[in-house]
Amino acid sequence: MIGSVIEKYEVLEKIGEGGMATVYRGRHTTLNRTVAIKVMHPHLTSSEKNRERFRREARAIESLAHDNILRIYDYSGPDSEKCFIVTEFIQGPTLRELLDDVGAMMPEPAALVARELCCALQTAHIEGIVHRDIKPENIMFDAEGRVKLMDFGIARIADDSHVTMTGALVGSPAYMSPEQATGEDVDLRSDIFALGTVLYRMVTGTLPFRGGNPSVVLKNIIDTTYDDPVERVPSLDPAVASVISKCLTRTADERYADTDEIRAELDGFLRSVAIDPEEPGQWSLDLYLNASDEYEDRLQPWLIERLVTRGRTEAGGGQTANALRTFNRVLTLDEDNEEVVTIIESMRPPLVDEPRRSGILLWIAPVLIAVAAIVALTLQSDRFAPEPTAAAEAPALRRVSMVPMPVLGIPEPLEVVVAPAPEPTPEEHAPAVVRPAPEPLEMEAVAIVEAAPEPTPEALQEPVLEGIGGLKVTAADGFLTFRVDGGKSLFTPTPEHLQLDAGDHTIEVLGSGTQVGYSKTVRVLPDARETLVLQPRYKPSTVKLTGFPLGSVYYVDGIFIGSADGTVRITLDEFKTYSISVEFNGQTIVEEGVTRGLTGTGVLDPGGERLIPFPGD
C-alpha cells in the first residue's frame, strides 16, 4: 500500500492497525493536504451488505460537526475496490498511549477528558448514532489538547459481523456493555457503560473488568463484578466514583439517561475544586499532556486548600458524611494535615467524662472506615440493595436558618432556629461489649532508666531565617485586596514578586460587599520565589419572605424547615441551586434560582438579598 494512490489520495506511511482497519498517513494529491486514510480489512468489506452499511454510516457521521469528533473529509464510492474513510490527521497521542505513559490520572484531568467525550457522544446520540466501540485507542488529543473521538461508522459494521475470520470476537471485550456481551439490543446507554469503563481506567490505571481470557472478562461484565475504584485509589473524589458507579450498572435503565447528565455532574465536581470546566486555564489538558508530573505537583496543594474549604462548607451545612469523605481525600493527599485532623475532632460527638483529646486517630480511623464502607456499598452495582428513596433518606439541609423579624401586629419577635438533627452518639449505636476479666499481671523487675533532661527554651527555639525572599500573590478567581503585615492595601495579582524578609508574614484579605475577609500566615524562605493563591470566601445570600399569614409552612429543596408568620429570612450558601416553597391557606408558591459564587451566575449575589412578598401584597 505504501506509495500507492487510492483514488486521489497518496498513501505515505502506515501509522496504526486494529481489528477492523489499517490506518495510513496520506496526502490529498490536488489540495496537498495531510490526511488519515483508514482502510477496512478485506474480510469485513467482502460483504456487499457491509459495504452499503458502511457508506450509509459514513454519510451520517459526515454530518456530525463537533470539535470533539474526528472530522471526515471523504469516503470510498460504490465502485471503489477498497472500503476507506479519509479524515483529518491528528498528530497527538491516543488516550491509550497517554495512559501507558502516566499509568493513572488524577480525577480532575480525567474529568476534563470525560466531559469532552460526553459532548462528542451527545452530538452523535441526538442524531441516533451509537458508537459501540468506545475505548482509549479510539480517543485522541490534537495539538491544542482537545479530545477527538474516532471510529464512528465502522464499529457498527464490526458489531454486525460478530466474528473475524479466525473466529475471535470483534471489538474490545473489556469495554463492552452487558447487553453487547449477551447479544441484546444496544442503544446510547451502551456507550455510557463504555464511557464509565474508560473513566475507571483513567483514574485507577486498570480496567474494572479483568480476566485471564475474554470469556472470564465477559462474565465479569455480565455480572458487573468489579473492584470499588475508591478501594484502588483512596484519593479518588467521591463525586467521580459516583459517576463511574452509575455508568457501570448492570441494567441500562439504571444508568444516566444521556451523556449531558454525566457532563453536568463532572462540571459540578470540577467547580467544587475551583476549576472552570469551560476555561480551565492553568489546568487545561494541553498543559497536562506536555508535563503531567509537573501538572499534578501543582494541582495537589491547590486541591488540598479547596477541599478543606469544601469540607468545612459541607460540615457547616450538616452534611457530615460528605464532609468526612472530602476530608478523607485531603488526608490521602496530605496525611499530616493538622487542620483537617482538628476539624474532624471538633465534629466528634462529645462523650461523658472523656478527655477532649484522647487518641483522635482512634476515632478518625473507624469513622473513615465506616464512610468508605458506606461508599463501597452504595457505589457498587446491582449486587447490592437499591439506593434508598428520597422519602426514606432525606438529605441534611444546607446551612439554612430562619430568623423571623418583628412586623406590625406581632408584639414579640418569633425566633425559629433550624439546624440538622443531632447525630447519634456512639453509645446509642454501639452494641454492648462483654469483656472477659483481665488476666493477672506478672510482675517483672525492670531497670530504671533516668529520663532525658528537658530541653532548654533555647534548644526549642526555631532558627531565625535571614535573607530576602519573593512572594507573588494571585487570586483563584478575579482579584482580591490584601495587606501584608498590616501595610498598605495591594491587589491581586501582584505584577511581580514582593520582596519580603525571610520568615513568617500575615496576609490579610480585606472583605467587601460580597466577600468575607480573612487572614493567613505564610512563610517566606530566603532566596526563594513562591506563589500564593488566595481563595475568595463569599458571603451567604439571603431570601426574605414577607407578609405570609399565620401558619405558613416553609420548605427549602423539599425539606421542611419550619412554620412562622411575619418576615422570614432564609440564608443560602454560595454555589447552590435552591427551591423555596411556601404553603399557606391551601395554596403553594415556589421560588427557584441559584446563588452566585466563584464561577457561577444567578439571581442571588454573595451577600445579596432577594425579596419574596406575599402574593396578595
Cβ neighbours of 601 (radius 10 Å): 9
At 455 the pLDDT is 56
Most confident of 382-386, 478-482, 516-520: 516-520
C-alpha 149/C-alpha 235 separation (Å) is 28
Measure the CA angle with vertex 80, ends 158 and 69; round to 5°. 50
Mean pLDDT of 73-99: 87
Confidence of residue 222 (pLDDT cuts 50, 70, 90): very high
In a domain, 449, yes or no: no
- Per-residue pLDDT of 162-179, as tens digits, reads 433 333 344 478 899 999
The residue out of 56, 88, 120 marking a domain boundary is 88
C-alpha 149/C-alpha 64 separation (Å) is 11
Shared domain check, 225 and 162: yes
End-to-end Cα distance, the chain: 81
User: Of 362 and 110, which is predicted with more confidence?
Assistant: 110
What is 118-140 written as a DSSP string?
HHHHHHHHHTT-------GGGEE
Q: For residue 520, what are the domain limits?
A: 464-534
In a domain, 47, yes or no: yes
Active site residues: 133
The residue out of 508, 534, 560 marking a domain boundary is 534
- Per-residue pLDDT of 18-35, as tens digits, reads 767 789 999 999 888 999
At 480 the pLDDT is 83
Secondary structure of residue 110 in the 3-state scheme: helix
Is the C-alpha dihedral spanning 195, 197, 201, 203 positive or negative? positive
For residue 486, give the amino acid letter: G
pLDDT at 337 over 80: yes
- Per-residue pLDDT of 233-267, as tens digits, reads 999 999 999 999 999 999 999 999 999 999 999 99
Shared domain check, 293 and 153: yes
Nearest 10 degrees: CA dihedral of 474, 480, 485, 488? 110
Shared domain check, 584 and 522: no
User: Of 412 and 286, which is predicted with more confidence?
Assistant: 286
Mean pLDDT of 52-64: 73
Q: Check: CB of residue 545 under 8 Å from CB of residue 568.
A: yes
For residue 245, give the amino acid letter: S
At 245 the pLDDT is 96
pLDDT at 386 over 80: no
CATH number at residue 103: 1.10.510.10
CATH number at residue 553: 2.60.40
At 334 the pLDDT is 92
Secondary structure of residue 355 in the 3-state scheme: coil
Shared domain check, 195 and 62: no
pLDDT at 69 over 90: yes
Secondary structure of residue 475 in the 3-state scheme: strand
Measure the CA angle with vertex 592, ends 540 and 398; round to 5°. 40
At 122 the pLDDT is 94
* Bridge partners, residue 31, by sequence: none
- CB under 8 Å to 397, separation ≥6 — which residues? 317, 318, 418, 420, 556, 557, 559, 561
Q: Write out the E strands in 459-615.
A: 468-475, 481-484, 490-491, 498-501, 503-509, 518-524, 529-534, 541-548, 553-556, 559-563, 566-572, 577-584, 587-594, 609-613
In a domain, 303, yes or no: yes
Q: Check: CB of residue 334 under 8 Å from CB of residue 306.
A: no
In a domain, 572, yes or no: yes
pLDDT at 391 over 50: no
User: C-alpha grid cell for residue 52?
Assistant: 452499503
pLDDT at 435 over 50: no
Q: Check: CB of residue 513 under 8 Å from CB of residue 528.
A: no
Q: What is the pTM of this model?
A: 0.57
At 25 the pLDDT is 94
At 547 the pLDDT is 76
Shared domain check, 215 and 80: no
Give the total number of structural domains in the chain: 4
Mean pLDDT, the chain, rounded, equals: 77
Smallest CA-to-CA distance from 14 within 4, 24, 22, 6 is with: 24
DSSP character at residue 536: P
Q: Check: CB of residue 602 under 8 Å from CB of residue 596.
A: yes
In a domain, 361, yes or no: no
C-alpha 343/C-alpha 367 separation (Å) is 14
C-alpha 132/C-alpha 192 separation (Å) is 10
Confidence of residue 417 (pLDDT cuts 50, 70, 90): very low
Shared domain check, 142 and 30: no
Smallest CA-to-CA distance from 201 within 169, 233, 237, 159 is with: 233
What percent of the chain has pLDDT above 90? 35
In a domain, 387, yes or no: no
Shared domain check, 170 and 81: no
User: Is the preceding peptide bond at 208 cis, omega within 30 degrees of 0?
Assistant: no
pLDDT at 403 over 90: no
C-alpha 326/C-alpha 335 separation (Å) is 13
C-alpha 582/C-alpha 589 separation (Å) is 6
Pairing of strands 468-475, 529-534: parallel
At 564 the pLDDT is 58
The residue out of 289, 313, 337 marking a domain boundary is 313
Smallest CA-to-CA distance from 475 within 503, 525, 512, 501 is with: 512
Shared domain check, 148 and 36: no
C-alpha 316/C-alpha 221 separation (Å) is 41
C-alpha 312/C-alpha 324 separation (Å) is 10
In a domain, 394, yes or no: no
C-alpha 566/C-alpha 244 separation (Å) is 47
Location of C-alpha cell 460537526: 65
Shared domain check, 84 and 109: no
At 350 the pLDDT is 55
At 99 the pLDDT is 95
For residue 286, give the amino acid letter: D
In a domain, 569, yes or no: yes
At 446 the pLDDT is 40
User: C-alpha grid cell for residue 254?
Assistant: 439504571
- CB under 8 Å to 114, separation ≥6 — which residues? 195, 198, 199, 202, 243, 262, 266
- Per-residue pLDDT of 439-474, as tens digits, reads 444 444 444 444 445 655 555 555 567 889 999 998
Shared domain check, 171 and 54: no
- Per-residue pLDDT of 567-587, as tens digits, reads 777 777 766 677 888 887 777
CATH number at residue 494: 2.60.40.1120
Shared domain check, 145 and 270: yes
Shared domain check, 164 and 57: no
DSSP character at residue 494: P
- CB under 8 Å to 2, separation ≥6 — which residues? 11, 12, 13, 14, 24
Cβ neighbours of 110 (radius 10 Å): 23
C-alpha 109/C-alpha 203 separation (Å) is 9
C-alpha 581/C-alpha 166 separation (Å) is 64
DSSP character at residue 501: E
For residue 512, give the amino acid letter: S
DSSP H helices in 205-237 = 214-223, 229-232
